[in-house]
Amino acid sequence: MRQGLRLSLLILPALVIVLAVMAWPLAVLTGLSFSSPERGLQNYEWFFASNKNVTVLIRTFAISGWVTLVCLVCAYPYAYLLTAVTPRTRLILLMGVMVPFWISGTVRTLAWVVILQDSGVINTALQSIGLEKVKLIRTQLGVTIGMAQVLLPFAILPLYSVMKAIDLRLMRAARSLGAGPVWAFVSVYLPMSVPGIVAAASLVFILSLGFYITPALLGGPRSVMLSSLAQTQVSTLLDWGKGGAIGVILLASTFAVLALVAPFVRQRYRKGSRS
């Protein structure tokens, strides 16, 4: 009992901070979504009755899905490389993953504004080889590129945490039994790395749903996401009820993603504990 009490006291400061900084404002915002300007579901009815709002909701999920896919495609080989190199090289590669955390997301996004603009580095390079300019800024493609770069470390680290526990000798054993390099990877290594893929995809997708700075700076009217829509309702129109409803819908979407992933994670955990 004394040990449990000590552990509870250690958790207490973090619990107080979470309740004060997150839980209480969230409860207030949820209450406003049902009570401002009057009690009822009118804010939610307004959201789903508007084709524009539903389009923004679908677009938010679509962009988040593309960002997740791009991050997985780029992060998987990088995480695999981390497990196959020498400790010194691994340290250098990990530093490359950690350095972006030390740079403001706004600064990185502004750098992408310079790179993706019509007179930026990419279009200048295309023109130098005789190709036409490509519209990248103020497009969903530009938003996807910027968000993927910001969120890539959140995909690499979960993948690496799982991959580093996989014994690479298993693939050599599969090849000694007659499997080719590709089939040995697909049949042995890839299934064992699935928990890392699920963790990375879930984390990146959930973070993408609430992104604001990058879509606001790189996107345009046709790439507005739910976070920007909520900011417009609260800061520009001063309509806290509708802004709160958008926030609750975004939160419910996050919980829905977690609910879909949780059974799979539990199943993989049970299999791992049995083995």
The 8-class DSSP code of residue 102 comes to G
Decide if 237 contacts 181 (C-beta within 8 A): no
Domain count, the chain: 1
Q: What is the CATH number of the domain that holds 230?
A: 1.10.3720.10
Query: Tell me, what's the pLDDT at 94?
Result: 92
Q: Which amino acid is at 170?
A: L
Average pLDDT over residues 242-271: 81
Collapsing DSSP to helix, strand or coil, 193 comes out as coil
For 28-74, what is each residue's pLDDT tens digit?
A: 989 999 998 889 999 999 999 999 999 999 999 999 999 999 999 99
Closest CA to 268 of 177, 206, 203, 197: 197
Look at residue 255 and tell me if it is in a domain.
yes
**Alpha-carbon distance values, 239 to 37, 55, 70, 229, 243 (Å):** 8, 20, 35, 11, 6
Look at residue 16 and tell me if it is in a domain.
no
Average pLDDT over residues 223-252: 90
The 8-class DSSP code of residue 232 comes to I
Look at residue 238 and tell me if it is in a domain.
yes
For 139-191, what is each residue's pLDDT tens digit?
A: 999 999 999 999 999 999 999 999 998 888 888 888 888 888 888 888 888 98
Look at residue 52 and tell me if it is in a domain.
yes
For 14-32, what is each residue's pLDDT tens digit?
A: 888 888 888 888 899 899 9
Query: Tell me, what's the pLDDT at 143?
Result: 93
Query: Tell me, what's the pLDDT at 267?
Result: 65
Mean residue pLDDT of the chain comes to 88
**What is the value of pTM for the model shown?**
0.87
For 106-149, what is each residue's pLDDT tens digit?
A: 888 889 998 998 888 888 888 888 888 888 888 999 999 999 99
Query: Tell me, what's the pLDDT at 274?
Result: 53
Mean pLDDT lowest for which of 139-148, 212-221, 261-270? Answer: 261-270
**Calpha distance 174→188 (Å, rounded):** 8
Instruction: Name the band, by pLDDT with cuts 50, 70 and 90, for residue 270.
Output: low
- Structure token digits, residue 48: 């789903």
pLDDT exceeds cutoff 80 at 269? no
Look at residue 122 and tell me if it is in a domain.
no
- Structure token digits, residue 82: 């981390």
Give 46: exposed, middle or buried? Use CB within 10 Å, 0-12, 13-18, 19+.
Answer: middle
Decide if 225 contacts 56 (C-beta within 8 A): yes
Query: Tell me, what's the pLDDT at 16?
Result: 87
Structural domain containing residue 149: 29-34+42-84+139-274
